[in-house]
Amino acid sequence: MARFLYQTREFDCPVQLSMTVLMGKWKVLVLWQLFLKNRRYGELKRLVPGISHKVLSDTLKVLEEERFIFRHDYHENPPHVEYGLTDQGRDLEPILRALQQWGMQYKAPHSP
């Protein structure tokens, strides 16, 4: 059986690899906000309701380590840092759009 290597991890199946990389309550929600435009930390905190500062900070670090996002520090005073998608992160857009469509199709009948 073929093995699939991603960074330092091995997987038996490409779907397993994909799900492991995207797993977590917040990763996809942060990525979704960054598809629209580059964002500052405070914007992301406001746009992802319920996420704590620590979890957002940790999520951004992981997404940056996994090369889905970049962090750009403008070296200004006051500090100005923005996050955006790398090419690898942008490649997830059709997948997340498909998940969006599926969610819209199968949402509860009385959902707004």
**What is the pTM (predicted TM-score) of this model?**
0.84
The pLDDT tens digits for 88-106 are 999 999 999 998 899 888 8
| More confident position, 100 or 53 | 53
Q: What per-residue confidence (pLDDT) applies to 3?
A: 80
Q: Model confidence at 53, in pLDDT bands (50, 70, 90)?
A: very high
DSSP symbols for 15-76: HHHHHHHH-SSSHHHHHHHHHH--EEHHHHHHHSTT--HHHHHHHHHHHHHTTSEEEEE---
Fold of 25-106: Arc Repressor Mutant, subunit A (1.10.10)
> What is the C-alpha to C-alpha distance for residues 46 and 101, in angstroms, rounded to an integer?
24
- Tell me the domain boundaries of the chain: 25-106
Lowest mean pLDDT among 18-22, 53-57, 66-70, 108-112: 108-112
Q: What per-residue confidence (pLDDT) applies to 97?
A: 92
